[in-house]
């Protein structure tokens, strides 16, 4: 098996961080990297010690949860708290940064933003990144490369579907099962 790229590695870290999120609307993770070394990570959630959306629902005003601190801000604050400079670093985020996060990223001196999924990409954020000379690149996480048994799972699922077909399962039911399997194994 060949090694995954640095971009895939750091994006996987961001997706792992997102699993710590306490936001029930969107789980986001961010990893700040300098010289191929992780210097900070963050996920979206409430302030330390505060009520979490997972415990007390989202606190929504104007269609936005005001309880949540965004993943990018949490990662930047971690750097500030521990005196780790961000100038010249890169950030890997599971979703395209919101406008406020984009401004904070630019102000922190980060030179590149890598994101896995488009999410309400604000035109002004895109313009700000461009005018600030911040490189922005979509790097989707190939989740299946993280699963060391993907090939075996695909083969097993195909074998089960074949046996069900040979056993006389209806075409409609077989199609439904194949569609479900495709949703599990195909990206997006």
Task: Kindly list the catalytic residues.
Answer: 72
Q: Which of 45, 41, 100 lies closest to 76, judged by CA?
A: 41
The set of residues, in sequence order, having a beta carbon less than 8 Å from that of 153 and lying 6+ positions away, is 147, 185
Query: With contact defined as beta carbons under 8 Å apart, do 35 and 48 qualify?
Result: no
- Using alpha carbons, select from 49, 106, 41 the residue that is nearest to residue 72: 41
3-state helix, strand, coil in the chain (%, to 5): 45, 20, 35
Dihedral over alpha carbons 66, 133, 94, 44 (to 10 degrees): -30
Which candidate, 37, 21, 34, 12, places its Cα nearest to that of 108?
34
């Amino acid at each position: 098996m060949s090694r995954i790229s640095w971009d895939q590695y750091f994006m996987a870290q961001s997706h792992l961080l997102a699993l710590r999120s306490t936001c029930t609307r969107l789980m986001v993770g961010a990893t700040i990297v300098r010289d191929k070394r992780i210097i900070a990570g963050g996920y979206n959630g409430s302030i330390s010690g505060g009520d979490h959306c997972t415990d007390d629902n989202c606190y929504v005003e104007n269609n936005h949860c005001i309880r949540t601190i965004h993943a990018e801000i949490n990662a930047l604050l971690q750097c500030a708290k521990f005196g780790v400079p961000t100038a010249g670093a890169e950030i890997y985020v599971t979703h395209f940064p919101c406008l406020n996060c984009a401004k904070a990223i630019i102000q922190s001196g980060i030179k590149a933003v890598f994101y896995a999924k488009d999410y309400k990409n604000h035109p002004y954020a895109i313009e700000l990144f461009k005018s600030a000379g911040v490189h922005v690149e979509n790097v989707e996480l190939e989740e299946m490369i993280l699963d060391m048994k993907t090939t075996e799972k695909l083969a097993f699922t195909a074998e089960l579907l074949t046996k069900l077909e040979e056993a006389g399962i209806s075409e409609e039911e077989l199609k439904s099962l194949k569609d479900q399997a495709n949703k599990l194994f195909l990206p997006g």
